[in-house]
Amino acid sequence: MKLIKTLSATTMIALVATSGAAFADDHMAADMTLVSWGGAYQASQVAAYAEPYAAMNSGVTITWDESSNEAVAKLRAMNEANNVTWDLVDVVAADALRLCDEGLAMEIDANEVLAAAPDGTSAEDDFGDLLVSDCFIPQIVYSTTVGYRKDMVPAGAEAPTDICALFDTETYPGMRSLEKRPINNMEWALLCDGVAKDEVYNVLETAEGQEQALAKLATIKDSVIWWSAGADTPQLLADGEVFMGSTYNGRLFSAIVEQNQPIAMLWDAQVFDLDGWIIPAGLPEDRLARVMDFVKFATDTQRLADQSKYISYGPARASSAPLVGKHASLGIEMAPHMPTDPANSKNTFLYNYEFWADYRDDIDAKFQAWLAQ
């Protein structure tokens, strides 16, 4: 079986299986457009799900669109235009809740659509509490955390161990990189402005709390490069353009372990989150049939365990956890690099999906207006 990969100017990757054991079923579309985040994470999906699926289904073309960070806005626009071109979309849990509430994502019955665990445990029980929405198909548990350049720690200063080092430009001068959205930034700002962890969302739901968070962020605004793609911070760190910056733990793992960059992970106040698939509502029957076939395969116990060979994100199925082994090429044990490892999760911050589903649009607008000032 030969697999052909092409990269277009619009950063889409096409995987075409040109020979194999099976041909595309007549009732299923031969093409799928999957939407993800690019970089190391998307590469792990290609290796763990897409390439094996293409090998088993000759003639199926899988095109990747790296637009997950804009998924809600783009699906809204596609729906308005009555032209939904995406077949399966990788989103964070809060965005899945929003898309489900707006009728832009299809509701599913997990036990009907997804595979049972090898021991017969139902999909619903295997995913458990991670099924946070009727439209959400979980893939991984990850965290947003901070990495810093070890060789840029000022002489005489200890390496940072606290999330509030982000705001301490006196001890740790230099540029920072933060995501160009309020999520995580607002929470860290309040934590570092003295708000107790269990009070953060109570404060953030008020106009005064939002202003407090923005005021704290304003203290470093002139020292921030704002990023949109998860690969940005690792590249900025590698180039020495920033001293520290936020991104997903798997992106930092790739830079530190696979690329041997002089970067260290700051696990303090890492924000746990979920990532998974949604199926856009209203797909034609043949496209929906293909997606259903793929998603059942891509989210089974083995495939989710396989993904952890390529990136340090925890699989969303309980039955996958015991199958997490070694890195596919480096041969190192992956469990110690997971955000859920006890050594890494001494002080975690739990992301509130429902809060951001309810408040995201309003706080987004306020945050973007603040950025433009």
Q: What is the pLDDT of residues 147-182, one digit of tens each?
A: 999 999 999 999 999 999 999 999 999 999 999 999
Q: Over the chain, what is the mean pLDDT?
A: 91
| Residue with the larger pLDDT of the pair 202 and 26 | 202
For residue 91, what are the β-bridge partners? 276
Closest CA to 141 of 364, 345, 361, 331: 345
Q: Which two tokens stand for residue 254?
A: 């790739």
- Give CA–CA dist 261/150, Å, rounded: 9
Which amino acid type is present at position 108? I
Residue pair 356/200 in contact by the 8 Å Cβ criterion: no
- Give CA–CA dist 358/196, Å, rounded: 22
In which element (H, E) is residue 269 found?
Answer: strand 263-278
Predicted local distance difference test score (pLDDT) of residue 340: 80
Residue pair 35/65 in contact by the 8 Å Cβ criterion: yes
Contacts of 300 (CB under 8 A, 6+ apart): 114, 115
Q: What is the pLDDT of residues 309-321, one digit of tens each?
A: 999 998 999 999 8
The angle formed by the CA atoms of residues 17, 18 and 21, to the nearest 5 degrees, is 75
Q: How confident is the model at residue 83 (pLDDT cuts 50, 70, 90)?
A: very high
- Give CA–CA dist 368/373, Å, rounded: 9
Contacts of 65 (CB under 8 A, 6+ apart): 10, 11, 12, 33, 34, 35, 36, 86
Q: Which two tokens stand for residue 318?
A: 């309980």
Residue pair 100/278 in contact by the 8 Å Cβ criterion: yes
DSSP code for 206: S
Q: Which two tokens stand for residue 207?
A: 């106009």
Q: What is the pLDDT of residues 333-367, one digit of tens each?
A: 998 888 888 788 889 898 898 899 899 999 999 99
Phi-psi region of 51 (alpha: psi -120 to 50; beta: other; left: phi over 0): alpha
Closest CA to 249 of 326, 345, 120: 345
As a residue count, the chain comes to 373
222 three-class SS: helix
- Give CA–CA dist 323/118, Å, rounded: 12
- Beta-carbon count within 10 A of 368 CB: 12
Contacts of 331 (CB under 8 A, 6+ apart): none
Residue pair 187/246 in contact by the 8 Å Cβ criterion: no
Using alpha carbons only, how large is the chain's radius of gyration in Å? 21
- Give CA–CA dist 373/358, Å, rounded: 25
| Residue with the larger pLDDT of the pair 222 and 350 | 222
Predicted local distance difference test score (pLDDT) of residue 25: 63
Measured CA to CA in angstroms, residue 76 lies from 86, 312, 337 at distances of 12, 32, 36
- Give CA–CA dist 251/183, Å, rounded: 18
Closest CA to 137 of 152, 126, 145: 126
35 three-class SS: strand
Q: What is the pLDDT of residues 8-48, one digit of tens each?
A: 323 344 444 433 333 346 699 999 999 999 988 999 999 99
Q: Is the pLDDT of residue 2 over 50?
A: no
DSSP code for 133: S
Q: What is the pLDDT of residues 127-146, one digit of tens each?
A: 998 899 999 999 999 999 99
Q: Is the pLDDT of residue 6 over 70?
A: no
Q: Quickly count helices (H) and strands (E) in the chain.
A: 14, 12
Predicted local distance difference test score (pLDDT) of residue 10: 36
92-103: average pLDDT: 94
Q: What is the pLDDT of residues 42-70, one digit of tens each?
A: 999 999 999 999 999 999 999 999 999 99
